[in-house]
Structures are given as C-alpha cells and as structure tokens.
Amino acid sequence: MHLAPRDMLGPACRTTVAPHLTIDGGCDGLINCAAHYRWWSRNPDLYNALNDAAVSELMKLALEARVMRIVQVSTILAMGCPPGDWGSAVRPLQPDTPPGPAASRYARSKAAGDEVVLRLAAEAALPGCVVALACVVGADRRLVSGGEEDVMRIADLVRGKVPATLGHDTVFTYIGVRDAAAAIIAALLRGRPGRRYLVGNQRLTTGEFYDVISRLSGIPAPSRRVPVWMAAMWAKAADSWGVLTGVPPQAPPDLIRTVSYGTLLFESASSEVELGLQVPYRDITESFREAVQYVQEYDSLQS
C-alpha cells in the first residue's frame, strides 16, 4: 500500500494525483481519506473545495485510469438527520437510509462528496463504496495541532481548559482508529460498488465521554453544564470574532447545531457482517487512553 499525500484542490488534482492512479503508478485500489474535518474554519470555502469538488474530480480521474477498487472514507454525520424518528433507538439509521439535512458545513460537504461516489457507481460503473465511520479515537497529531483540528477537544480536556459541558446527555458513537483502519481495508477488499457501510457501535453520552477522559488523565471533568439554547445565543458572535482574530471559538455554531440535533444512532451489524469485520471491537477506553497519553507526552516534551 502506497500513501500518496498530494494537492487535490482545483486543477492540481489532475496534475499531481492522476499519475498515481495507474498501474504504472502502482495503483489498482484507491482510498480517499482526504477531508477538511473540523467544526470551525476561518476559510469555510475549503469544506466544499476538498470534501465535494475535489472528490468529484478524483473519481473522474479514477474512472479514466480504470482503478479497480475505490473507498470513500466518510462520517456518520454525513447521514444528517432524516425526517421522522430516524436515528433514534427504535429506528436507527441503516446503510440505505436516505440522508437528511446535515447540521454542519463539514457534514454537508461530506454528504455531497459521498453522493458523487454513489451516483457514479450507479451511472458510470465506478467501483466505489462509502465507509461512514463513527467518531474515530486514537493517538493522532491533530490532537495537538490547535483548536480547529482537535474536534473532540481531548487535548483541552486533558489540559483542564474546557469550562463546561454542552449537550451532556447527547449520545455519540465511537470507534478506535485501528478498528476504523481495518474496516476501510475490508471495504477495499470486499466492499460492493455503490454501497454505503456504517461502522462503529460503542456509544457514550457526552457526560460519559468527559468522565472517561477525566479518569484517564486525572483532570476533573467540567462541573458546569451549559444549555444548548444558551450556547447558541452567543455562538454567532463568537464565530464572527474568530474570523476576525483567527482564534477558533470554543463552541462553534456548527458544533452547537450538531449537539442540538441530538442523539443520532445507527445500525452497524449488517455492514460488519458484509465486510467480515472482527467484532466485538477493541474497548474504546483503550483508544481514549492512547489519545490522552499522546497529549500528555507531547505536553511533557514542550515543558
């Protein structure tokens, strides 16, 4: 397997990526992991540029090069919140559930990119599938890269910089980075073109998530709880201030909208069976432990 970090934006995609999408370039399978992934961005145009337009160009190049197998790596958030009681415990999202309105620019742009892959699979025989992952946890440089990239605020929690809980009872689904990688490889080897696979099944409320980080790091979890409606009142002003100063707001509007959508549950068993995944997954606490240790070791080296 060859990792090919290249410029996918605009015309550069054809000149820098295309040479690698041939047998001579060593490619008979393609995994697209590129994404502008964050709750807030000073340059919001990058969401559509990288998560949608670049995917469209990349898939056209893959068709031209006759790449044999393609996996578009995505997020369960791209499924949005379909009308009715979809996403609830009584009606969890299924792989073939039509996506609904998304809460964030990131989720909307990922949904658009996913739709490109699924549409080309149906209309042009693109040999591609989509793997929609739960929240991926593990040791990652993005944890310490700054406020925009640490989307789960793990580093801030370890450093005691999160003043309050937002959406304390909202449930999110998690998967360790190693299990996520195994699912992506399985999709490359066994995924069916035009299919969407939903991967991950370990659920925690936001309050439980904070408690896990607190237990592993030794730093007390935030004791205050901020109602979503109250956070939404000042989020827009905080967003404008962030654009002006370049400092990401602690609770960006997209994060608040995602929390206000509430719990979004999905059914992963059918995807796990079809891909032949090893279940049960590794205990998500161990992946959180690795993330916490990564932050602590990084901070120790900086001191």
Instruction: Name 79's Cβ contacts closer than 8 Å, sequence gap at least 6.
Output: 87, 93, 97, 99, 100, 111, 132, 198, 264, 266
Task: Give the fold, CATH level 3, of 12-296.
Answer: Rossmann fold (3.40.50)
How much is the pLDDT for 252? 79
- Is there a contact between 104 and 80 (Cβ–Cβ < 8 Å)? no
Q: Quote the CA–CA distance of 138 and 259 in Å, as a whole number.
A: 22
The neighbour count for residue 200, using CB atoms within 10 Å, is 26
Which strands, in side-by-side order, build the sheet including 135-137? Answer: 135-137, 171-176, 202-205
pTM: predicted TM-score of the whole model, two decimal places: 0.91
Q: Give counts: helices (H), strands (E), the chain.
A: 11, 9
Read off the pLDDT of residues 35-71 as tens digits, 9 standing for 90 and up: 999 888 888 899 999 999 999 999 999 998 889 999 9
Q: Quote the CA–CA distance of 177 and 187 in Å, as a whole number.
A: 15
How much is the pLDDT for 26? 60
Read off the pLDDT of residues 76-131 as tens digits, 9 standing for 90 and up: 999 998 888 888 888 999 999 999 999 899 999 999 999 999 999 999 999 999 99
How much is the pLDDT for 181? 97
How much is the pLDDT for 235? 66
Q: How far apart are the first and last CA of the chain?
A: 37
Read off the pLDDT of residues 137-195 as tens digits, 9 standing for 90 and up: 999 998 888 767 778 889 999 999 988 888 888 899 999 999 999 999 999 999 999 99
How much is the pLDDT for 283? 97
